[in-house]
Amino acid sequence: MKRISLAMFILIVAAALASPTLATSANPGISADEAMRVLKAGNARYVEGKLQHPHQDRARRALTAGQGQHPLATVLTCSDSRTPAEIIFDQGIGDIFVVRVAGNVAATDETGTIEYGVANLAAPLVVVMGHSQCGAVSAVVDNAKLPPNIAKLVAPIKPAVDKAREANPEAAKDVLLKAAITDNVWQAMEDMLRQSPIIREKVKDGQVQVVGALYDLDSGQIQWLGPHPDQAKLVGAQKGAAGKSGKKGKKAKKSGE
Ligand SMILES: [Zn+2]
């Protein structure tokens, strides 16, 4: 009997160590691919209603307070109360470095914060995540009259909406909004890369991956969009590169992964 319970104990410990969510004590040295696997697994648990709520206990708090933070990813997403990144990816304290702003735009403050996650905290993965029914994108699609601060905040969304409208001239509002939300993810990725030599260098060197994502409010599922279609150009890995104001090539919209 005793032998059986010891065997069981060893099995449980081995399973816990093999699990990415339980084994990443504070995530130092994790690769972008591993980080992606952790986020995908966490989102799958969330969608299935099988949340583990990892890393939310006193021990984790003490570990990260004492040893510092080593988040596995930097996530830029919307402030919408239905898009809490830690819950969507089933992560805990010290796991993800989150920037939230209406419309997940990447202006100076957001880009600077992402830079901190990438350069100072060495998070190997940047996720720019839009979501269905985004009010900020919707307001721009509607040409809504906005108070000055909000108008300034959502201004970076306008080029994405223009692009979506150009590609979908006859589309109904819901179709146009969907396209604009996707284009707005690409736009934020582009704005971030254009503004940040630090992130561009890290991407170029292969130290950091930047991927787009779309979160569905209803299903809870993430659609992974992958890297920006013009990434090589944006980071200067190709001739004629970042910062140049020339027309961008057609973006092949990638879906899934
Ligand atoms: Zn939103």
User: Domain of 81?
Assistant: 26-234
Q: How far is CA 78 from CA 75, 101, 205, in A?
A: 10, 5, 28
What separation in Å is there between the alpha carbon of 233 and the centre of ligand 1?
Answer: 28
21 within some domain: no
What separation in Å is there between the alpha carbon of 104 and the centre of ligand 1?
Answer: 7
Q: For residue 81, count other CB atoms closer than 10 A to its CB.
A: 6
What separation in Å is there between the alpha carbon of 101 and the centre of ligand 1?
Answer: 8
For the stretch 182-191, pLDDT in tens is: 999 999 999 9
20 within some domain: no
What separation in Å is there between the alpha carbon of 31 and the centre of ligand 1?
Answer: 29
* Contact call for residues 169 and 253 (beta carbons, < 8 A): no
255 within some domain: no
Q: For residue 222, count other CB atoms closer than 10 A to its CB.
A: 23
CA distance 177 to 132: 9
What separation in Å is there between the alpha carbon of 68 and the centre of ligand 1?
Answer: 31
Residue 255 has pLDDT above 70, yes or no: no
What separation in Å is there between the alpha carbon of 112 and the centre of ligand 1?
Answer: 20
Across 173-181, average pLDDT: 97
pLDDT on residue 22: 39
243 within some domain: no
97 within some domain: yes
Residue 37 has pLDDT above 90, yes or no: yes
What separation in Å is there between the alpha carbon of 129 and the centre of ligand 1?
Answer: 10
Burial string for 88-119 (b: 16+ CB within 10 Å, else e) reads bbbbbbbbbbbbbbbbbbbbeebbebbbebbb
What separation in Å is there between the alpha carbon of 83 and the centre of ligand 1?
Answer: 8
> Which protein residues have their CB within 5 A of the ion that is ligand 1?
78, 80, 134, 136
pLDDT on residue 14: 44
What letter does residue 22 receive in the DSSP assignment?
H
Burial string for 23-34 (b: 16+ CB within 10 Å, else e) reads ebebbeebebeb
133 within some domain: yes
What separation in Å is there between the alpha carbon of 9 and the centre of ligand 1?
Answer: 45
For the stretch 20-33, pLDDT in tens is: 443 344 567 899 99
For the stretch 111-134, pLDDT in tens is: 999 999 999 999 999 999 999 999
What separation in Å is there between the alpha carbon of 55 and the centre of ligand 1?
Answer: 27
CA distance 166 to 159: 10
Residue 11 has pLDDT above 90, yes or no: no
Tokens 């995540």 correspond to 129
242 within some domain: no
114 within some domain: yes
Q: Which band of pLDDT confidence, cut at 50, 70 and 90, is reported for residue 7? A: low
Q: What does pTM read for this prediction?
A: 0.84
Write the burial class of residue 157 (CB in 10 Å: 0-12 exposed, 13-18 middle, 19+ buried): buried
User: How many domains does the structure of the chain reveal?
Assistant: 1
What separation in Å is there between the alpha carbon of 186 and the centre of ligand 1?
Answer: 15
Which domain CATH number covers 147?
Answer: 3.40.1050.10
